[in-house]
Amino acid sequence: MKKLLVLGCGNKNIKEKFPDYEIVTIDLRDNVGASIVHNLEVFPWPIEDNTFDYVLAEQILEHLKDTTRTLEEIYRISKPNSQVEITVPYFRSKWNAIDPTHVKQFCPWSIYHYVPNARLGRRKFQLYENYQLSKTAKFHMKKFSWNKDIDQTIFQKILIKISDINLEFYEDKLAPMFPLECMTWELKVLK
């Protein structure tokens, strides 16, 4: 059976969404029923290399100080070609500012320090090639999406369509007035 790791699981119930996976959960708190109680800011995590087929990090990366080290751990514990799904609040969103435990902010291009030959919108980004923040964490971008699994207004759906056509236009001209809520990067581990 394939294995799924849920980072910062809280009280999430994801069994219905991933019925074909053995689900392992990790959280700092011992009162949420996590399989592993561990502070994700203490490295290395108590998990063997190449263990998981899927890593789910919903609304957790913004709470962790060291994004590079966290992505290196995700990379280390993931099997080759496994999937990683990361959802974070958009830095312009009220949901980013509302939580005092958020220590990081993200825009659509933030993940591209870890994605070689990245293309998002009309531009090819070479953040990975130019800055090489990590010696190990390396992913392929499968999909970028706004407001995944969130009920959206008609106006938000229009903004997402505009962003899909021209992300730079949305980011530069519309997002300061009409920010979307969160972003999801669906990645493949490159090993």
Question: Which domains are assigned to the chain?
Answer: 2-149+181-189 (3.40.50.150)
Q: What pLDDT band is residue 36 in, cutting at 50, 70 and 90?
A: very high
Q: What is the mean pLDDT of residues 170-191?
A: 96
CA 63 – CA 66 distance, rounded (Å): 9
**Pairing state of beta strands 78-89 and 52-58?**
parallel
CA 85 – CA 136 distance, rounded (Å): 18
Q: What pLDDT band is residue 32 in, cutting at 50, 70 and 90?
A: confident
Q: What is the pLDDT of residues 127-144, one digit of tens each?
A: 666 667 778 899 999 999
Q: What is the pTM of this model?
A: 0.92
Residue with tokens 């106006």: 155
* Whether residue 122 has pLDDT greater than 70: no
* Whether residue 70 has pLDDT greater than 80: yes
> pLDDT value at position 9?
72
